[in-house]
Amino acid sequence: MQLSHFGKKFSSGAGILTLMDDLGKAIVHGSGQYMLGGGNPAHIPEVQRYFREQMRLTLDNDKDFELAIGNYTSPQGHGDFVRTLAELLKDQYHWNVGPENIALTNGSQSAFFYLFNMFAGHFEDGSFRKILFPMAPEYIGYADLGLEEGIFMAEKPQIEFIGKNVFKYHVDFDRLEIADDVGAICVSRPTNPTGNVITDEELSRLSALAEKHNIPLIIDNAYGTPFPNIIFTEATPMWNENIILSMSLSKLGLPGTRTGIVVARREVIDAVSSMNAVFNLSPGSMGAMIAGEMIRDGQIIDISKNIIKPYYYEKSRRAFDLLEGYLKGLDFFIHKPEGALFLWLWIPDLPITSQELYMRLKERGVIVVSGHYFFPGLDSEWRHRNECLRISFSQNDEVVKAGLKIIADELKKVCRGN
């Protein structure tokens, strides 16, 4: 069987395929593996109970049930959800948004496929433009989304050392250059994989740069504020007509519904809706139906702030303390955990690559993600990207504790030549 360029590109060994394959096999096979690799959110009992109740209400209401599974929505997405979300964002943050500024997609991964290929690649004027990540590392799922090769470029970060074993990445504005071939700037906040939260000042400077060069700033807000608000430091929600804000219901606890949200100026929303029609006919409705009421009454903000955020903060703190203790005696750094579901571990001068370490850990039943996947668009050689691991702490505490202990044990063997 011969495949087209498209077929070969999207069926090859992408990093996101490895991650999701590991995740899926761990779920199917159950025990025997410590799944510290995927971004699957925890099953928080209080949040799960809320979703179960909303599902029951949907089942009991004939009209809602039929709308949820028996009807297509418009290509823009579930109308009531879009309207109530626009009202929430306008009331809470005084953003000048209406229903025309919001579209739903079948997961935020689909949204980024649309957006990246909308603003990068070959243009009618003969130019070739790229997506700029101003601070690598960045999300593994971006790397293979381009229809054309070479559409990503990235800059190395500044590294701030905080105490003995903690560091933090910052945007290096002294090195950052917005060349004519940049079609859009993109950041995740909190950053997947590191848990880094770009500061309000950094985000404002990026927004100003994007506006100056007449290109959009795309903010991946999958873990961010106002929901699911998995942020452990100060961070102000930001949007204007030059910002494209991507949100999701996945980390709220609904990854199976595949509900992505794009907040942007009307021209972008019209384009996203058109792409929805071509690729999917329309986005699914189940996530919008389950979360609709919590958007309408504002509970989504309260639940995120008072249940989801504290839950992950405590898990982050416990996982950090455990890992720091287990690694005592080694030369290591952990990125300051400011949000998301991960610890980002850096072992300077690691004797093997992070990919080889991933394979050794996998043989011992621990699934992590090798750091080298998280540098899309960074063409220059940098040993750092082969010295890092992304470790999820979203699983139950016993699994996380056992997995971290094995990681530390294997690292001691590696670093001591065993």
What pLDDT does 28 receive?
45
Asked whether 126 and 147 are in contact (CB, 8 A), the reply is no
> Is 369's pLDDT higher than 80?
yes
> Is 307's pLDDT higher than 60?
yes
Residues 93 and 39 both lie in one domain: no
Q: How many domains does the chain have?
A: 2
Q: Dihedral, CA atoms, 276, 279, 281, 283, nearest 10 degrees?
A: -50
What pLDDT does 31 receive?
46
The answer as to whether 54 is a domain residue is: no
Residues 192 and 205 both lie in one domain: yes
User: What is the pLDDT of the chain when averaged over all its residues?
Assistant: 93
Confidence of residue 132 (pLDDT cuts 50, 70, 90): very high
Residue ending a domain, among 263, 298, 333, is 298
> Is 159's pLDDT higher than 60?
yes
**pTM, two decimal places:** 0.93
The answer as to whether 170 is a domain residue is: yes
What pLDDT does 21 receive?
58
Residues 308 and 284 both lie in one domain: no
CATH number for 174: 3.40.640.10
Tokens 């063409």 belong to residue:
379
The answer as to whether 21 is a domain residue is: yes
Residues 292 and 352 both lie in one domain: no
d(CA 360, CA 366): 9
Note the pLDDT tens digit of each residue in 308-344: 999 999 999 999 999 999 999 999 999 999 999 999 9
What pLDDT does 180 receive?
95
**Residues contacting 311, CB < 8 A, separation 6+:** 42, 44
d(CA 250, CA 105): 12
**Residues contacting 345, CB < 8 A, separation 6+:** 323, 332, 333, 334, 388, 389, 391, 407
Residues 160 and 192 both lie in one domain: yes
The answer as to whether 57 is a domain residue is: no
Tokens 């060349």 belong to residue:
179
Note the pLDDT tens digit of each residue in 189-214: 999 999 999 999 999 999 999 999 99
Residue ending a domain, among 259, 280, 298, is 298
Confidence of residue 303 (pLDDT cuts 50, 70, 90): very high
Confidence of residue 373 (pLDDT cuts 50, 70, 90): very high
User: Which contiguous run of DSSP H or E holds residue 408?
Assistant: helix 397-415
| pLDDT > 70 in the chain, percent | 95
Look at residues 32, 59, 73, 46 and name the one whose alpha carbon lies nearest to residue 273: 73
What pLDDT does 13 receive?
59
Confidence of residue 32 (pLDDT cuts 50, 70, 90): low
Residues 129 and 276 both lie in one domain: yes
Note the pLDDT tens digit of each residue in 233-270: 999 999 999 999 999 999 999 999 999 999 999 999 99
Residues 266 and 164 both lie in one domain: yes
As a whole number, mean pLDDT of residues 386-392 equals 98
Residues 209 and 176 both lie in one domain: yes
Residue 381, number of CB atoms within 10 A of its CB: 8
Please provide the distance, in angstroms rounded to a whole number, between the alpha carbons at the two ends of the chain: 45
Which domain, by its residues, includes 116?
73-298
What letter would DSSP give residue 161? E
What pLDDT does 27 receive?
46
Residues 41 and 80 both lie in one domain: no
Task: State whether residue 380 is helix, strand or coil.
Answer: coil
The answer as to whether 276 is a domain residue is: yes
Residues 14 and 100 both lie in one domain: no
What pLDDT does 222 receive?
96
Residues 156 and 177 both lie in one domain: yes
What pLDDT does 14 receive?
54
> Is 401's pLDDT higher than 70?
yes
The answer as to whether 108 is a domain residue is: yes
The answer as to whether 292 is a domain residue is: yes
38: exposed, middle or buried (C-beta count within 10 Å: 0-12, 13-18, 19+)?
buried
> Is 277's pLDDT higher than 70?
yes
Query: How distant is the alpha carbon of residue 208 from its chain centre?
Result: 23
The answer as to whether 193 is a domain residue is: yes
Confidence of residue 17 (pLDDT cuts 50, 70, 90): low
Asked whether 35 and 369 are in contact (CB, 8 A), the reply is no
Handedness of CA 189, 385, 368, 334 (dihedral sign): negative
Say which residue, 69 or 124, is predicted with more confidence: 124
Residues 253 and 321 both lie in one domain: no
Residue ending a domain, among 247, 266, 298, is 298
Strand ranges (DSSP E) for 85-211?
102-105, 121-122, 128-133, 152-154, 158-162, 166-170, 182-188
CATH number for 29: 3.90.1150.10
